[in-house]
Structure formats: structure tokens, C-alpha cells
A and B are shown apart, each in its own frame.
Chain A
Amino acid sequence: MKISWPHMGSLEVVLASVFEELGLEYVPAPPNSERTLELGARYGPEFACFPLKTTLGNFIEAIEAGADTLIMVAGRGPCRFGYYAETQRRILEDAGYEFEMVPLTFHLGKMPLLMRQLRRLKQSASWTSLARAVKIALSKAYLIDRLEQQALHQRYLDRDKGATTSALKECYEMVFQCDGYDRLRRVEREGFELLHSVPKTERQPIKIGIIGEFYLVLEPFFNLQVEEQLGYLGAYVERNIYLTDWLRPSGNKPIAGHHDSESEEAARPYLTHAVGGEGLHSVGNTVLFHRHGFDGVVHLMPFTCMPETIAKSILPMVSQDLGIPVLSLVIDEMTGKAGVATRLEAFVDLAHFRRRAHRQELPLAPQPAF
């Protein structure tokens, strides 16, 4: 059995380390590329969500690379994510691929089903070793998230463009290699040191928040590296979601530094009900970003995404009320990097201008942004 899964930011490191720890065979899907998207768009249904297509592309490439067991999360609505696994299974079967889809259902009423699926995946490994592997993988993911956050906060200070990014890549490697908590603690120290040691220049930042659909926020290849682009444009960047924050069922978001209920509260004047996905939090986090002195918010939205479409129709009102510029980027297979770059540039200019015109300097929080 060769297991594979779709890419989503640092998810690769987490799952690979679980299977590595358990000694199970896995085939990482080839890195996201133009071809991934092309395959996904070719087989994917018309106007299905963008992430459905890209992850479908991942699956096809993984099968080509020899995978035969595909993991996907399944669930319940109201947005489409819960039905991805089933839809993709049908599409891949129609296209004549041979594989087995294991949809992991994280839902209280479906616990026995989840246990069955996990048993199939873990094969002969024991439940305790599975739990241990998952635990350390989550610790790794938590570390990666904090390293990524650090990179977001400091990228604009790079003396040599790209230095932070390459340091971050090194960190990924270190984290992935390490086994055991002792090593992990050492890597944590080394990783942060590495990032801090990147040569810096003096620069006045502007603060930009990134909000939007979680897949698009977490997956740098398909969001056209907005984070990096913004960093190079001189922005101190913070995003509303990190992988481990997203995985937490409690709604607490220690890395982003707030609780879901806070952002729901903040959204209340504009949107009073959850609309699936990140829709409600996109609105709420815009308000929170404003409260924490951010100069602008970039909203990432896959074309046809339902929750974000709602957010997008409400955000102009928020933006007007609070006076914080919001740039909605609708991303699909046609979106060109060049076009996005120009828009980001113009947006950062606008944010700069408004900051000079309207606001006194706000002190920059050194670590968590809010």
C-alpha cells in the first residue's frame, strides 16, 4: 500500500513524518506545478472550486508516481470541502485510474468509521505508535507554523532579497529530519536563530493582513506567493490562519493569536451567521486586523468559492466603515502572476499613502501580531 495525499502548505511535512515514524510506505505527490493545475482543470468539473481541481491534479500525479491509496478529509457542509473526496473518487474512477480513496471523516457521530479508516491506513502499526507519531508530527507542524510566522514578520527587512525564504526552506528540512522531542527543541532554537541571523536593513514597514479561504492562504504555489510578494514590497505580513490553528477543534488560534469567537464577535455588525469555510472569519479578521493597526488586508478567494463570495460582497462595507483598504484577489486557473503582482504593488502603494495621510505611526508588535 502506497499512501499519498494532496499538498497544502506544510501538510506534507506533517503527514510524511507520521508515515515515516510508523515505517509505512508513502509517495509524496510531485510538487505543485503548472501541470498539476492543468490536469486538475482538465478532469475537474466546470466551476467546481479551485482547490478541488488542484488537489485532483495532485492525486493524478501521485497515482502516476505509484501511489495507490489516497487520503482526503471528508465531512459535512455547508461548503463543498466535505464532498471533495467522494467527487474526486468518482472523477478519477471515470478517468480509469486504479486507486483506493480513504476519506477521513472527523465528525463526532462518525467515530467508528474514522477508526476503521485509520486502521486500514496504519496497517500493522499499533494504535499507541500511531498516536505518538501524530503527536510529534503536530509538534513539528506547530514549530513550522511559528517559523513561517517569523518569516512573514521579517521578510520585508531582507537585505538580500529571498534570504529569509531560503532560510525558511532550510528550517523545513531541519524540522522534517528530526526525530524525538529533544532534537525538536534544539531545532526550534536553531531555526529561530537562523531566521534572526538573516542580514537585515532598516526599513519602515506597512502592515498587511492576509485573509481568505484556508487552502489558498496556506498553499503558496497557488496563491502565487502573495506572502513573499508582499514581503518584497515592504510589508510586514500576518495571516489569519495557520495549519495547526486550523486543525485545532477548540477554535483557539494560538499562533494567529486570537480565538474564533473573537473574530465572530468582531464580524457581528456585518455578518451574523457562519457561512461555511472561512467566510465569517474573513470578515471578522478584517475587523481584528484593523483594530491591531494594520494598513490593509488582502483577501484571497478561489473563483466560485461560496463562503468567500459572501465575504467579498460584505467586505466593501467593512472597508468603508473602518477605512481599511481591502484587496480581493479572485484566483483560478486563468489568473496570471504578473497581473496579481501589479495589483499588489498598487495596493501596497495605496496602503502607504493612506498611512501617511491618515494615521500616526503605530508601534510595531515584535512577536504575535494580535
Chain B
Amino acid sequence: MVSGLINENPTVYERKERRVRTDSSNTDEFTVEPIDQLEIFDILFCSICTYSIVDIRDPEHPYSLEQLKVLTEDSVEVDDGKSYVRVTFTPTVEHCSMATIIGLSVRVKLMRSLPPRYKIDIRVAPGSHATEAAQS
């Protein structure tokens, strides 16, 4: 077990205002709306659950993954037509021991929220983590 904090002085960002979806002109309740980047991010930010992935507090600091920019909207690449989503997260330090847990939590959250046809790829942002290959 590592004694002492892994990242003593993390860079903390402003919590972004959630982008509100504007009313679409299509009010047909049977229309299938393709899943897009915002929806994936909302899944990760879901406030209906008792906790949301990006609100996970780093045990060392009272900041969430969103505030530490570990996960942002741009972290998400989605192609509904191909049933494919890729989430790339950026640990704050190179040898973050939480990286495997974060990766698994994101994967499980998406697997439970998305239709079974989806292929899910979770990646650590290139160059940001020592055990990058082990995460995928």
C-alpha cells in the first residue's frame, strides 16, 4: 500500500454546467433517437443513481473525476450506427493506482445502461499512464 498521497496537488477545474438538450421538433414518442456523445456522458453523469461515475470522489481529495478532468464530454466517442463507444480517460498522474478501478467502473456502468448490441472500448489517454496496455 502506498503511504502518503499519490497526487498532492491536483489541478481542479470548474464543474461544467450540464448542457441542456434543446427540444427537438420531432415529438413522435416512437422515434428511435440515435445515442450520441451527450447521452453517453449523461449516463456517466447520471444523477438518478445514488452516485454517478464522474462524481466519484477521489479518496485523497474532495474532488470528483469531472472536476479533475479525468472524464470529460470529449472523452466520449460514440457511433450509434456501428453500436460502438469509446471512452478515454486521463488519470491525473502517470502511475495512478485507481486507473484499473476507474476503467472497470466506467465499463460496467456503460454495459448496464447501453443496449446489448454495443461494443465498448475503455482506454487510458495515450501517454498518460504507465500501465496503459493493461487497462484495455
Q: Answer whether A and B are interacting partners.
A: no
